[in-house]
Structures are given as structure tokens and as C-alpha cells.
């Protein structure tokens, strides 16, 4: 397949580039380096099946040649980033998604949207199934990311229903691994960097809020399984079957065109993560409590029944093993940054 990956130089995008190039696919990687980094794709430059375009996906989008799939991964994804870049975050989720969908339609390419567990907001049910509509405050500082991604999902489903585009939506839960930035701001990278530097681990609030962490290799497997899952129908059939006006109401979620949660259901409190990072790094850093960010979700855990049934996927990497690899990565990254 010839695949365009927007945000291809980011944390997740670059791992996807690696995996798909390794599987024999041809990758066009697009990034404007707002939160992506040249280092993440440096080793792919010059590879015969890899090309790079520095571009903002919100601008008019043109890619030469055929495309079999468009994977839209461009967006700031760390709360620190999207709080600093609220308008860019809204634009890439809204305008960028529209442009990427338009390109997929023009090329009759399959489209995969990187959505997020943030569409569930501060959830009132735990774990979160895909059928849960969420509890999002649209005007909170976090709302810029949550609402952009909710709009992106709505736009993607509209292209599927109205234009018959073959679309997929993955709701990505907390993910960690090599290539997160030292100053990324998310909890796993913060705690590891702080522990390795002997600085206090900054626990926001009392640390009783929960998250569920997936190692990046597992996540990539799940996303690629969703991309490759065969819809088994032509564009004409899809248009007819899922036509905007004919769709029955009350239809159940569960097809590959509906959102699919990909994440690791092992749920920990933030204090648990802090203790685990201290243990695995052997650090004696103290814990320092800082104010809880506004509307920080109290709980988060994916319900992954659909991913298991539809994709035969479930995470395999133990949290501790993933953390050891990530600690090793940050040890090197910190040495090189000195
Ligand atoms: N968090 C923390 N200390 C940090 C960074 C984050 O206690 O240095 C908390 C944050 O308040 C949230 C959880 O860890 O409850 C996960 O935050 P992250 O920014 O990684 O992602 P989120 O799941 O909130 O999008």
C-alpha cells in the first residue's frame, strides 16, 4: 500500500512509519514539526519506500500519485502542548481532518482517524465502552483537544455516510514509549525524566486519579490491524448500504467503521505510576504534589471488547517491561541532551 501519514514525525506517527515501511509498504510522511521532530524519522530518510513532506495539513492538500490510505495523526497530543497551542489544536482537528478526508476521497483511499479517549472527557462510567457519549466541558482549557477530536470523528462519519468513504476511527488511550520528548509533559515521560535526574516527581492533585497505559508497540499493532481490516465492500456498495438518509436509527456500534478503543485495560492511580517509576529506575526522588489541572479526568480505562472481537487484538507488553525500555530510552536521550 502507499500510505500518507500526517503527523508522521511525531511520537506515534514515526512508530507507524517504521512499522509500515518494515512491512513493505510505501510511506509518505507529512509533518510541520510543531510537536513532531526530525530525529524521529532521520533513520528513514533516504529509504526507497519513505518520503517526507514538510507541510501543515490545514493548508490545501495535494499529494502526487496514488494513495491507498491516509492516516491522520497530526495534532498536539500532550495536555501541556494543547494548552499552549489551543488554536492550532482546534485547527488541525477540524480543518486538518477535513483536508485529509478530502484528499482520501479524491484518491479513493481508506482513511484512518487518530481519535482519543479524551472524547469521553471526565467519564461518568468506568471502563469506557465506545458506546459511551462522554462528559466533556467544551469551554474548559482541555476542551480544545476534546472538541477538535469529537468534531473530527463527526466529520469522518459524515464522509463515510455521505460519500461512502472507507473510514476507520481509533480512540487511542494513554500510550508511552521511546520517542516521547523529554519535555513532553505527560505523566510517564515526566516521572521517568524526573526520577533519572533525581528531581521530585510532580504528582498533580492527590494522585488518586487513574489512567491505563499502553506500550507503543502494542498500540501500533492495534492501529495497523484496524487499518488493514477488510471491509469487504466496494465504494458503491458502501455508499448504498450506509447512505446518509437510509441509515437505520439505533444501530449498534461494532463495525470497523465505528470508533474502536485501543489501549491497555490495566488501570493504575497516578501515585501507583510514580511508585513504579521510582522502583524501576532505583531513584530516591521525593514526591511533590502540585495542583490538579482543570477538568483532569478522574478515571480512565478502555473497554476493549470490540478490538478483541473485530481485530483479534489485545495488548501483550507488560507495563513493567514497556517502562524498562522507555527508561532506557530516556537515559540515552538525557545523556545526549547534555
Ligand atoms: N500528571 C501528574 N504529573 C505530571 C503529569 C501528569 O500527576 O507530571 C497526571 C495528570 O494530572 C493526569 C495523569 O497524570 O491525571 C495523566 O496525565 P497526562 O498528561 O499524561 O495525560 P492525560 O491522560 O491527562 O491526557
pTM of the model: 0.94
Determine the pLDDT at residue 255: 87
pLDDT in tens, 259-286: 999 999 999 999 999 999 999 999 999 9
For residue 94, the 8-state DSSP code is I
Instruction: Tell me which of 119, 145, 204 to substitute to probe ligand 1's pocket, judged by most ligand atoms within 8 Å of the beta carbon.
Output: 204
Residue 234: phi and psi, rounded to 5, are: -85, 170
pLDDT in tens, 291-307: 999 999 999 999 999 99
- Give the confidence band of 169 by pLDDT, cuts at 50, 70, 90: very high
Q: Domain-by-domain residue ranges, the chain?
A: 2-175+214-262, 177-211+265-300+316-337
Determine the pLDDT at residue 253: 66
CB of 187 closer than 6 angstroms to any ligand 1 atom: yes
pLDDT at 167 over 60: yes
Mean pLDDT of 307-324: 97
Q: Which CATH code fits 2-175+214-262?
A: 3.40.50.720
Determine the pLDDT at residue 244: 39
Q: Which CATH code fits 177-211+265-300+316-337?
A: 3.90.25.10
Determine the pLDDT at residue 289: 98
pLDDT in tens, 223-255: 999 999 987 544 444 444 444 334 444 455 678
State whether residue 40 is helix, strand or coil. helix
Determine the pLDDT at residue 231: 72
Determine the pLDDT at residue 248: 43
Q: Which of 145, 159, 162, 329 is catalytic?
A: 145
- Cα 138 to averaged position of ligand 1 atoms, centre (Å): 19
Instruction: Please tell me the distance from the alpha carbon of residue 223 to that of residue 22, in angstroms, as a whole number.
Output: 15
- Cα 8 to averaged position of ligand 1 atoms, centre (Å): 24
Determine the pLDDT at residue 85: 97
Query: Mean pLDDT score of the chain, rounded to an integer?
Result: 94
Residues in the chain: 338
Determine the pLDDT at residue 252: 58
Determine the pLDDT at residue 37: 97
Mean pLDDT of 84-102: 98
Atom of ligand 1 nearest to the CA of 293: 11
Sole residue written with cell 480543518: 95
- Identify whether the C-beta of residue 283 lies closer than 8 Å to the C-beta of residue 200: no
State whether residue 334 is helix, strand or coil. helix
Instruction: Tell me which of 12, 35, 78, 79 to substitute to probe ligand 1's pocket, judged by most ligand atoms within 8 Å of the beta carbon.
Output: 79
pLDDT in tens, 138-163: 999 999 999 999 999 999 999 999 99
Amino acid at each position: 500500500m502507499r500510505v500518507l501519514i500526517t503527523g508522521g514525525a511525531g511520537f506515534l506517527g514515526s512508530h507507524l512509519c517504521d512499522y509500515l515501511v518494515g512491512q513493505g509498504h510505501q510511506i509518505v510522511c507529512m509533518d510541520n514539526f510543531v510537536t513532531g521532530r526530525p530525529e524521529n524519522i532521520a533513520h528513514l530518510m533516504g529509504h526507497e519506500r519513505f518520503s517526507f513532506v514538510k507541510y501543515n495539513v490545514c493548508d490545501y492538500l495535494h499529494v502526487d500519485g496514488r494513495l491507498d490510505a491516509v492516516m491522520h495523526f497530526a495534532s498536539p497530543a500532550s495536555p501541556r502542548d494543547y494548552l499552549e497551542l489551543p488554536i492550532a489544536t482546534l485547527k488541525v482537528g477540524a480543518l486538518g481532518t477535513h483536508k485529509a478526508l478530502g484528499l482520501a476521497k479524491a484518491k479513493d483511499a481508506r482513511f484512518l482517524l487518530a481519535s482519543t479517549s479524551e472524547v469521553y472527557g471526565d467519564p461518568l462510567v468506568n471502563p469506557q465502552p465506545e458506546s459511551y457519549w462522554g462528559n466533556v466541558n467544551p469551554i474548559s482549557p482541555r476542551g480544545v483537544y476534546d472538541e477538535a477530536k469529537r468534531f473530527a470523528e463527526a466529520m469522518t462519519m459524515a464522509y463515510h455516510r455521505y460519500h461512502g468513504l472507507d473510514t476507520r476511527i481509533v480512540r487511542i488511550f494513554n500510550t508511552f514509549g521511546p520517542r516521547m520528548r523529554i519535555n513532553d509533559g505527560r505523566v510517564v515521560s515526566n516521572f521517568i525524566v524526573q526520577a533519572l535526574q533525581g528531581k521530585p516527581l510532580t504528582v498533580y492533585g492527590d494522585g488518586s486519579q487513574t489512567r491505563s497505559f499502553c506500550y507503543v508497540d502494542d498500540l501500533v499493532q492495534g492501529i495497523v490491524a484496524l487499518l488493514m481490516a477488510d471491509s469487504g465492500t466496494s465504494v458503491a456498495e458502501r455508499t448504498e448500504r450506509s447512505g446518509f438518509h437510509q441509515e437505520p436509527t439505533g444501530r449498534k456500534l461494532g463495525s470497523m467503521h465505528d470508533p474502536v478503543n485501543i489501549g491497555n485495560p490495566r488501570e493504575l492511580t497516578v501515585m501507583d505510576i510514580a511508585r513504579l517509576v521510582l522502583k524501576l529506575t532505583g531513584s530516591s526522588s521525593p514526591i511533590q504534589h502540585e495542583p490538579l489541572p482543570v477538568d483532569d479526568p478522574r478515571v480512565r480505562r478502555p473497554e476493549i471488547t470490540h478490538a478483541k472481537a473485530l481485530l483479534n487484538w489485545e495488548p501483550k507488553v507488560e507495563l513493567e517491561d514497556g517502562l524498562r525500555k522507555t527508561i532506557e530510552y530516556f537515559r540515552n536521550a538525557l545523556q545526549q541532551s547534555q
